[in-house]
């Protein structure tokens, strides 16, 4: 471009005439009209967005506080009033009268819980299972020895013993002991003192009905002159039941492995935060879903808007080229 | 008013000549340019609350309004011409009488170039806007603005070179 051309164009272009200056001065002197658009698109978007965000937050906080106010049912189930309904007090019936004491979770309660006593004068199959926590592998060995000595002292005997310490700090011993029924309660009390009780289960199955029935059958056969072999077989069976009823079976597990602590129930504040966060996450998911659904429509609207603007510019340019 | 947001009157006084010159180049008609300049400032006053100095200078904002006003004028003129063509022989329009004080180069530019060429010359040469500002007014990219200016000047230079040499 020639510099002369630019200079010439600038110098030859006139300024606005005085008449125009006066007209514009009159226009400028007038007070500006009040804003026509109070609710501009940007302002509506900002206010609407803020309102939606505030409402979402308020709902989340409200739901969090409301649900946190309700007591946790898990905590209630461990309350003292509820404990009698726990499985340890449940009664099952197997082959006549039977009592089952389920596993006890609370060690303090276990210590005070006594094993049910066998009924004197009735033949019963008495089985008890006890899991006791000991301090370490050294203590495990000593405790096992103590349990064996106590068994012998009470007139019982050892059926099986399985002792294992795969790691220096961890080990377990499983003892299957037969204790005279009359002294089984004393045995359980002694075993309970070997360490901290982790679990205890006692099952009593009544054998007296079977025994009485066999006795009746033997008498009937003797009166009717039944075969001696049949009578002998029934007597053997009765003797077997009596032997079973004379000794209680105690399965004693000694372990160094402490069970995992139950997770402490979250506090009210934590539950409120968790619930509020959950509600917020759900709201965000709904928002994202709505956005995904609306995205194609928004995209089409955007394309239409961009297309119309481009066409408008093109037509403006054509118009100016013709002018 | 603070210096950050001057009064409308001071803006109008400062940029009146810029707006008029721009519209004079676009319309190539002094009286039409005057009318459109007045209309532009009326529009500017009604939209004064929307002016944001952070988003652009007052000159740029006024030029954008002036361009919009001029385009409305051209559209209306085109509609009028089409209506007239339906009922009578089209009036191509007599050559506009430009005042005597207009120099020969300006006369040549106004008479031979299209409005598209004239407006880019007005913005870049007469108002001395940079490519970015002019491009913003025109709604195109700065490189497209520069290309358009070069082509417009090339066309004008062919017409006026003999005069410049003389």
A203 and A116 Cβ atoms separated by less than 8 Å: no
The pLDDT assigned to B164 comes to 58
Query: What confidence tier does A20 reach under pLDDT thresholds 50, 70, 90?
Result: very high
Half-sphere exposure at residue A42, Cβ-oriented, CA atoms within 13 angstroms? 1
Considering only CA atoms, which of B68, B61, B76, B78 is closest in space to residue B129? B61
| C-alpha to C-alpha distance for B70 and B48, rounded to whole angstroms | 19
Distances (CA, A) of A278 to A3, A112, A202, A268, A275: 71, 42, 44, 15, 5
- Specify if B2 maps to a domain: no
- Chain A residue with CA closest to B22: the answer is A13
Count chain A–chain B contacts defined by CB atoms under 8 A: 122
| Token pair 């795969």: residue | A166
- Chain A residue with CA closest to B34: the answer is A20
Chain A residues within 8 A of B30 when measuring between CB atoms: 17
Provide the chain A residues 304-323 that lie in CB contact (below 8 A) with chain B. 313, 316-317, 319-323
Interval B38-91: pLDDT, tens: 999 999 999 888 888 888 899 999 999 999 999 999 999 889 888 888 777 655
A10 and B125 Cβ atoms separated by less than 8 Å: yes
Query: What confidence tier does A135 reach under pLDDT thresholds 50, 70, 90?
Result: confident
Res. A71: pLDDT tops 90: no
For B71, residues 6+ apart whose C-beta sits below 8 A from its C-beta are A316, A319, A320
| DSSP, res A121 | T
| C-alpha to C-alpha distance for B95 and A114, rounded to whole angstroms | 122
Interval A224-271: pLDDT, tens: 888 888 889 999 999 998 888 899 999 999 998 877 766 777 788 888
**A67 or A181, higher pLDDT:** A181
Whether B106 sits inside 8 A of A24 (CB atoms) is no
For residue B159, give the CATH number of its domain. Answer: 1.20.140.160
A269 and A149 Cβ atoms separated by less than 8 Å: no
| C-alpha to C-alpha distance for A54 and A59, rounded to whole angstroms | 9
Coil, helix or strand at residue A253: strand
Query: What confidence tier does A87 reach under pLDDT thresholds 50, 70, 90?
Result: very low
The pLDDT assigned to A81 comes to 35
- Specify if B110 maps to a domain: yes
Whether B164 sits inside 8 A of A4 (CB atoms) is yes
The pLDDT assigned to B162 comes to 63
B40 and B69 Cβ atoms separated by less than 8 Å: yes
- Specify if B3 maps to a domain: no
Burial B7-27 (b: 16+ CB within 10 A, else e): ebbebbeebbbbbbbbbbbbb
Percent of chain A with pLDDT over 70: 82
| C-alpha to C-alpha distance for B109 and B122, rounded to whole angstroms | 11
Chain A interface mutation, best of B10, B118, B121, highest count of A Cβ atoms under 10 Å = B121
The pLDDT assigned to B96 comes to 62
Whether B13 sits inside 8 A of A25 (CB atoms) is yes
Whether B150 sits inside 8 A of A1 (CB atoms) is yes
B34 and A19 Cβ atoms separated by less than 8 Å: yes
The pLDDT assigned to A288 comes to 93
* Closest Cβ opposite residue A8 in set B42, B105, B150: B105
| C-alpha to C-alpha distance for B70 and B76, rounded to whole angstroms | 10
H/E stretch holding A98: strand A98-101
B123 and B137 Cβ atoms separated by less than 8 Å: yes
Chain A residues within 8 A of B140 when measuring between CB atoms: 313
- Per-residue tokens: B51: 């002016």
Interval A156-197: pLDDT, tens: 999 999 988 888 778 889 999 999 988 888 888 888 888 888
Q: Does A27 contact B at CB distance below 8 Å?
A: yes
* Closest Cβ opposite residue B105 in set A9, A25, A27: A9
The pLDDT assigned to A185 comes to 87
Res. A79: pLDDT tops 80: no
Chain A residues within 8 A of B116 when measuring between CB atoms: 317, 320-321, 323
B138 and A50 Cβ atoms separated by less than 8 Å: no
Phi then psi for residue A68, to 5 deg, are -70, -25
Total domain count, chain B? 1
**For residue B27, what are the domain limits?**
8-165
- State chain B's mean pLDDT as an integer: 85
Res. A28: pLDDT tops 80: yes
Interval B88-145: pLDDT, tens: 765 555 556 677 777 777 887 788 888 999 999 999 999 999 999 999 999 899 999 9
Res. A272: pLDDT tops 50: yes
Average pLDDT of the residues in A142-152: 90
What DSSP line would sit under B90-157, residue for residue?
A: ----PPP---TTS-HHHHHHHHHS-HHHHHHHIIIIIS---HHHHHHHHTS-HHHHHHHHHHHHHHHH
**B138 or A8, higher pLDDT:** B138
Average pLDDT of the residues in A33-50: 78
Interval A189-224: pLDDT, tens: 888 888 888 888 888 888 888 889 999 999 998 888
Q: Work out the burial of residue A105: count CB atoms within 10 Å of its CB; fewer than 13 is exposed, 13-18 middle, 19 or more buried.
A: middle
Chain A interface mutation, best of B6, B41, B68, B147, highest count of A Cβ atoms under 10 Å = B41
The pLDDT assigned to B119 comes to 92
| C-alpha to C-alpha distance for A35 and A246, rounded to whole angstroms | 103
* Closest Cβ opposite residue A17 in set B8, B34, B103: B34
Interval A88-118: pLDDT, tens: 333 333 333 344 444 434 444 444 446 777 8
Strand duo A196-206 + A170-180: pairing: unpaired
B41 and A27 Cβ atoms separated by less than 8 Å: yes
Interval A275-322: pLDDT, tens: 889 989 999 999 999 999 999 999 999 999 999 999 998 998 888 888
- Specify if B1 maps to a domain: no
Average pLDDT of the residues in B18-31: 92
| C-alpha to C-alpha distance for A149 and B121, rounded to whole angstroms | 115
Distances (CA, A) of B140 to A147, B51, B120, B132, B162: 96, 21, 11, 9, 33
| DSSP, res A39 | S
């Amino acid at each position: 471009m020639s510099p002369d051309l630019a200079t010439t164009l600038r110098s030859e272009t006139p300024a606005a005439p005085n008449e125009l200056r006066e007209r514009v001065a009159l226009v400028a002197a007038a007070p500006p009209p009040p804003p026509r658009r109070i609710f501009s698109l940007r302002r509506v978007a900002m206010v609407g967005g803020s309102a939606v965000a505030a409402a979402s937050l308020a709902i989340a906080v409200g739901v969090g506080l409301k649900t946190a106010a309700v007591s946790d049912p898990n905590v209630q189930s461990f309350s003292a009033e509820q404990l009698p309904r726990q499985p340890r007090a449940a009664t099952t019936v197997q082959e006549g009268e039977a009592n089952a004491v389920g596993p006890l979770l609370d060690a303090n309660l276990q210590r005070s819980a006594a094993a049910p006593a066998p009924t004197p004068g009735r033949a019963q199959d008495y089985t008890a299972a006890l899991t006791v926590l000991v301090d370490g592998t050294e203590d495990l060995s000593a405790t096992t020895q103590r349990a064996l000595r106590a068994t012998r002292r009470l007139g019982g005997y050892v059926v099986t013993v399985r002792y294992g310490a795969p790691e220096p700090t961890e080990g377990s011993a499983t003892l299957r002991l037969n204790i005279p029924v009359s002294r089984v309660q004393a045995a359980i009390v002694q075993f309970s003192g070997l360490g901290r009780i982790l679990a205890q289960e006692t099952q009593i199955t009544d054998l007296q009905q079977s025994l009485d029935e066999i006795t009746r059958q033997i008498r009937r056969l003797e009166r009717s002159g039944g075969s001696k072999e049949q009578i002998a077989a029934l007597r053997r069976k009765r003797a077997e039941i009596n032997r079973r009823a004379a000794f209680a079976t105690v399965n004693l597990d000694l372990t160094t492995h402490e069970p995992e602590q139950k997770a402490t129930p979250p506090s009210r504040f934590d539950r409120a935060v968790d619930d509020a966060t959950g509600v917020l996450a759900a709201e965000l998911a709904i928002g994202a879903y709505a956005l995904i659904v609306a995205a194609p429509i928004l995209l089409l609207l955007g394309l239409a808007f961009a297309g119309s603007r481009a066409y408008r510019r093109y037509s403006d340019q054509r118009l100016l080229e013709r002018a | 008013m603070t210096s950050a947001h001057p009064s409308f009157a001071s803006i109008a006084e400062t940029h009146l000549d810029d707006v008029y010159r721009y519209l004079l180049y676009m319309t190539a008609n002094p009286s039409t340019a005057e009318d459109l300049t007045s209309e532009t400032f009326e529009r500017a006053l009604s939209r004064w609350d929307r002016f944001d100095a952070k988003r652009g200078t007052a000159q740029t904002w006024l030029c954008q309004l002036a361009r919009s006003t001029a385009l409305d004028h051209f559209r209306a003129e085109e509609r009028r011409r089409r209506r007239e063509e339906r009922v009578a022989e089209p009036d191509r329009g007599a050559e506009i009488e430009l005042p005597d004080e207009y120099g020969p180069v300006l006369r040549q530019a106004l008479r031979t170039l299209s409005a598209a060429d004239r407006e880019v010359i007005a913005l870049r040469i007469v108002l001395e806007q940079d490519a970015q500002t002019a491009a913003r007014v025109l709604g195109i990219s700065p490189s497209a603005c520069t290309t358009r200016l070069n082509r417009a000047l090339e066309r004008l230079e062919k017409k006026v070179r003999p005069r410049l040499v003389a």
